[in-house]
Amino acid sequence: MRVVILTGAGISAESGLPTFRDAHGLWEGHRPEEVATPEAFEADPLLVHRFYDARRAALATVEPNAAHHALARLEERLGDDYLLVTQNIDDLHQRAGSRRIVPMHGRLRSSYCLHCGERSHWTATLADGPPCPACGVAALRPDVVWFGEVPHGLDRIGKAIEHADLFVSIGTSGVVYPAAGLATAAHSAGARTLELNLVPSDGVTVFDQARHGPATELVPAWVDEVISQLPR
């Protein structure tokens, strides 16, 4: 069975990371869409750096939860018949052991150099304008996909969805595109579709089936179900 999973901020909520909607939608009085854009970075790089530096610092204080670990277990059983697509820029999936993963909106623990194009593992701050580890120029930006920028891995995601038997959306409100359009694409490609979310998402009607509740309860239970149905 070929499975494609899409996750959003809801899967990391019980690890202690606020979701976009839960963070009262505001950060220092700004809507995330206002600070997560190239224009905002152009206008006020310090404000944007502080937004991501604070999230990078918070990431160091949290751990993957039972939902992240359950997905890593499922990947172990399905192997290459599995692909995890995440909108999250945290590394909790990777820390839980996920390997077949597309961080389509980038990674918080990575910097991108606007001078030489180098991507570097980054856990410290960027607001103080550190030099790029590769070219030495102080031209680093967070290695995340901002609104108006093209997400990563769209080809790989498109191919996996074309051949999927099952598409599962976990902890996402289904508001941001092109991620929010993947369930419809999977449905049109003939896959069965399932939503696992705390409450019905904006796109719930697209799904053949939906289960609502906390991810740390829904996801391990669903993974156990799938694994129990797999041939020995």
Query: Quick check: is 68 catalytic?
Result: no
Query: HEC string of the chain?
Result: CCEEEEECHHHHHHHCCCCCCCCCCCECCECHHHHCCHHHHHHCHHHHHHHHHHHHHHHCCCCCCHHHHHHHHHHHHHHHHEEEEECCCCCHHHHCCCCCEEECCEEEEEEEECCCCCEEECCCCCCCCCCCCCCCCCCEEEEECCCCCCCCCHHHHHHHHHCCCEEEEECCCCCCCCHHHHHHHHHHCCCEEEEEECCCCCCHHHCCEEEECCHHHHHHHHHHHHHHHCCC
Binding of residue 177 to ligand BV8 (CB under 6 A): yes
Binding of residue 222 to ligand BV8 (CB under 6 A): no
Q: Name which position in 121, 178, 190, 230 contacts ligand BV8 (CB under 6 A).
A: 178
* Range in contact with ligand BV8 (rule: CB under 6 A) among 116-124, 130-138, 168-176, 183-191: 168-176
* Range in contact with ligand BV8 (rule: CB under 6 A) among 42-50, 69-77, 126-134, 176-184: 176-184
CB of 228 to ligand BV8, least distance (A): 22
Q: Let me know: does 193 contact 169? Beta carbons within 8 Å.
A: yes
Q: Name which position in 45, 139, 214, 227 contacts ligand BV8 (CB under 6 A).
A: 214
* Range in contact with ligand BV8 (rule: CB under 6 A) among 69-77, 111-119, 138-146, 187-195: 138-146
Catalytic residue among 49, 68, 69, 105: 105
Footprint of ligand BV8 on 44-83 (CB under 6 A): none
Q: Please give the distance of CA 166 from its chain centroid, rounded to a whole number.
A: 19
Footprint of ligand BV8 on 79-98 (CB under 6 A): 87, 89
Binding of residue 111 to ligand BV8 (CB under 6 A): no
Q: Give the β-pairing of 166-170 and 3-7.
A: parallel
CB of 36 to ligand BV8, least distance (A): 4
Binding-site ranges for ligand BV8 (CB under 6 A) = 8-10, 13-14, 19-21, 32-33, 36, 87, 89, 105-106, 144-151, 154, 171-173, 175-179, 197-199, 201, 214-215
- Residues belonging to the active site: 105
